[in-house]
Structure 1
Amino acid sequence: MSFEEMWTSLRDVGRSARSGGYFRQPFGAAERECAAWFAEEALARGLELRSDGFGNTVAWWGEWREWGERGSCPDGVLTGSHLDSVLDGGAFDGPLGVVSAFAAVDLLRERGFVPSKPIGIAAFVEEEGSRFGRACLGSALAVGTLTPAEAEALTDRDGVRLGDAWAQASLDPTQGSTLLADVGCFVELHVEQGRDLVHRDQAVAAASEIWPHGRYRFDFTGEANHAGATRMEDRRDPMLTYAATALAASQKARLAEERATFGRLAVEPNGTNAIPSRVTAWLDARGATDESLDELVAAILDQAQQSAASDGTAVSMTAESVSRAVAFAGDLAARIAAPRGWPIIPTQAGHDAGVLSAAGIPTAMLFVRNPTGVSHSPAEHAETDDCLAGVVALADTLEELSA
């Protein structure tokens, strides 16, 4: 099946008829349908399918059945990405890397290439953190930086525990994961989340680093009261404290040329004619260095505390997840990019590749041009010709690394 045919077969799964965006939340019906699609594509190619107790899956290419008994392949070259989406997300973030991986294996077979090292295609679960609030959850569990006990207590917006979602999906987290044992390197292809390649007039690039980033929960508390009967000067309104904090976060990030976004909000009691008693807001912050990220978040918290003191409210902050800066293996990026004239660029977005790299697995990333630069939105896009160039780039990379 060609790249275009695979893309068409996956295109409508979890897609909203209203917005055109995707709702492929982990262990939901649409995401499980994507997982079944992955298994079908792997088995159609005669790949050996291996899964762990968390929902991650790897399909291995090669005649290495005896290694499969151990659930791992010595010095394997791993590629792939994820199939889940953010809420109302785009089509390319994640699935492009998985579909391109299958297409790259097909291309290598057409070339008559026989790898001397096994090649695996991975589909990591809950990369976006859109349901259980922990980005790159599947890969973090696979490398052991997050324990099953820590993960199973996570809850979604409806109060469903991850442990219960695992059970409903017939997964057993006590099995752990050996999927990444003895993997020699990982290459993740991803749609670019920005316009660097547009400005460079290039279809493909390699990655140099991932900016450090984190998710922080701000709890603003005040006093619920009547919206009409309560004088403005008598209010203890946490919404005002939140609004001042959001504006300050934007200003401080702009001045530092970094990133700060309040993208999720929960209000109690959430009534039109009631002053809130509580506002919970989630901050996504990203900085050029670990130190600058810490400074940015500290400055935002300081402003929130000052505003709370003025408004007669209270505020607390909880770091729900923080990923430190990741510098990809420079020699690996240069090895695959320099001979082909690909630029090497940083990314401000988090990826499973960053988790594997931080765990000591030599890792590289390839980016495919996004003409709009828009991501995490139905407007996310990549031209078919650029996607096919990405397939060739990934195939060339896998051939070199597994020869």
Structure 2
Amino acid sequence: MTTWQQRYESALMNTFGTPKLLLTRGEGAHVWDADGTEYVDLLGGIAVNALGHAHPAVLEAVTHQLGTLGHVSNFFASEPQLALAERLLTLLGPEVGGRVFFSNSGAEANEAALKLTRRTGRTHLVATEGSFHGRTMGALALTSKAAYREPFEPLPGYVTFVPYGDAAALTAAVTDDTAAVVLEPIQGEAGVRVPPPGYLSAARRACDEHGALLWLDEVQTGIGRTGAWFAHQLPAGEGVTPDVVTLAKGLGGGIPIGATIGLGTAGALLEPGNHGTTFGGNPVACAAALAVLDTIEKDQLLDRATALGKTLRDGLGADPRVTEARGEGLMVGLELAVDAPGVVTAAMAGGYILNATGPSTIRLVPPLVLTDEDARGFVEAWSGILDAVEVDA
């Protein structure tokens, strides 16, 4: 064990286990560790670093904002906060209207959304198996994995879990007591699970029939990750308009920010005194988010995510040890006939950072600025990485 790992174990709570690398700098989709070894980052801080590392647009926006106004609390407004809220509502559809609550993470965005659903006067929620919505107590109640939830029960609310992608099961679970149905348009932590066509529209109909809110958790799928600003805007979404959308991860390009967006009348459910945050919506985070949105638009990164994602799925899926390559845009799930954690280790030895979400599943969520050269290099290295795992087995 290295000195820095010993320092880590003696100073930090053991919530993540001991990390394998001490990273010291990054540029684009590349990072370097303390030994100077270079890696292609195909995890992107778990879909956070939309523009990669040290992107000049984010650096300039944050530096400029810190030099003018850093933090003011929500007793006051700032121009970046106003501009970002307006921009997000426009991207979601200006004809719908709504309001935004800013926070600092995806879990916080989902906590705010959960409180918003309570303002309907109902407490029942429908969530899905394989879901991940965060680790705080309210968000955890909606996260299906028993190992995450059970040590902290009882959790808030009355939640029914149904199989993801099963429209009939979802429809049957929604009643006149249901406050909201909460869905990821594509599941991330479960291994990039894409629902069948018509799933979101079936959820919309069930909510409309019973007066429930449709809440889409776009924390991982939003802000260009899937080749659209929001995954529910892909053709598979069939034009569905949700009542609540939650965002974080890629929105700030590495600067912590979350957003809870209530569309239409849902935007008025939270009133003064119902919720709050000290740091949420601070000028620096909002300036970073505006820079991310500007860059995605200016550099046409939505189209790039679509094209490069197909390149990765087709190239990696060509190896017979990949039993399924799925996803949208630069959100790629690979189902393997070999040990996925072993693949992560072998890939790291070859200079690539990946993530296993299960014993046979790899998730790729690289920066949207991943180069063609890096994508081709990984595809070319892929069979050798899988070979190394088979040799070690």
The answer, yes or no, to whether TM exceeds 0.5 is: no
Please give the TM-score of this superposition, normalised by the length of structure 1: 0.29
If each structure's strand is expressed as a fraction of its own residues, which one has the higher value?
1
Please give the TM-score of this superposition, normalised by the length of structure 2: 0.30
